[in-house]
Amino acid sequence: MVGSIYFIEMPYSDFRHAKGRPVLVVKQIDKNDLLVLPLTSNLKREGINITNIDIADGTLKKESVVIVPKMTAVDHGLIVQSRKIATLKKSAFDNVLQALCDRLGC
């Protein structure tokens, strides 16, 4: 699950509305909660670009940007295996984690 991209109904920051979007699972906090980063196909957004070269299994419809550090905790129940899009290669996932750590001052 960690390192994989899923399509979920991602809540907006006001938690009143949601939008379907792909997210990268960064960490499982506990059995109920996951940390995720949203993806966008808007290549002008700041973040880490990923392409199908970065994918270990599955495919992306479009080149995308992992929006770092727009991290959100979501309930594990939002992640449905049937809505899995792809899994990043270890090197690509490590690049995302490093960028996240750099932005958060780890």
pTM over 0.85: yes
CA gap 76, 33 in Å, rounded: 5
Which strand (E) or helix (H) includes residue 50? strand 48-50
Is pLDDT of 3 > 80?
yes
Provide long-range contacts, Cβ within 8 A and 24+ apart, for 56-62: 56/86, 56/87, 56/88, 56/89, 56/90, 57/86, 57/87, 58/5, 58/84, 58/85, 58/86, 58/87, 59/85, 59/86, 60/5, 60/85, 60/86
CA atoms of 91 and 5, how far apart (whole Å) = 15
Range of the domain at 26: 4-104
pLDDT of amino acid 8: 93
Q: What is the CATH number of the domain that holds 27?
A: 2.30.30.110
- Structural domain total, the chain: 1
* Stretch 4-13: mean pLDDT: 87
Q: What is the pLDDT of residues 50-85, one digit of tens each?
A: 999 999 999 999 999 999 989 999 998 888 878 999
